[in-house]
Amino acid sequence: MLNFISRFLLLLCIPTSLVYANEVEKNGHILIQDEFRSGTHVNIEEDQDEVYEAVKKGLIRPFSELYNTIDKQLNGRLIKIELEEDDDEWIYEIKLIHNDNVVKVEYNAATLNMIKIEARNIIDIIKK
């Protein structure tokens, strides 16, 4: 009897897992959020289907690559990430805290090239 119940439950789980995996695969927000950092607020203003298509086209790099880029280039603690599309260009807008100052930085989401940085004492923020 236990064997029958175990098989029945397994048969119920497999289709559910496949449906969930398919949904995750098509969710653009999940595709780019491949890494999480505590204390960082994430805001993706665009629709998940639009993000999914942009990821497939290579217009958006995942968070893990963004985090690596930030870690190599900037000092400070990451507190916020926003992803926005503006005139067909995907932009990561981030905020850092460094020495009690807020730092605002924009990165091209496809290339991860820094577009803009706003802060006091920028020399202290940029890693050498």
Query: CA-CA distance, 50 to 29, in Å (whole number)?
Result: 10
String of DSSP letters for 25-36: HH-HHHHH--S-
Determine the pLDDT at residue 80.
Answer: 93
Determine the pLDDT at residue 28.
Answer: 60
Write phi, then psi, for 70 (nearest 5 degrees): -60, -45
Query: Could you identify the residue written with the tokens 């639009």?
Result: 50
Number of H helices, E strands in the chain: 5, 5
Go through the domains of the chain in sequence order and give each one's CATH number. Answer: 2-125 (3.10.450.40)
Query: Please, what are the averages of pLDDT over each run of 10 residues along the chain (128 residues)?
Result: 46 41 53 72 80 87 92 95 90 94 96 96 89
3-state secondary structure of 128: coil
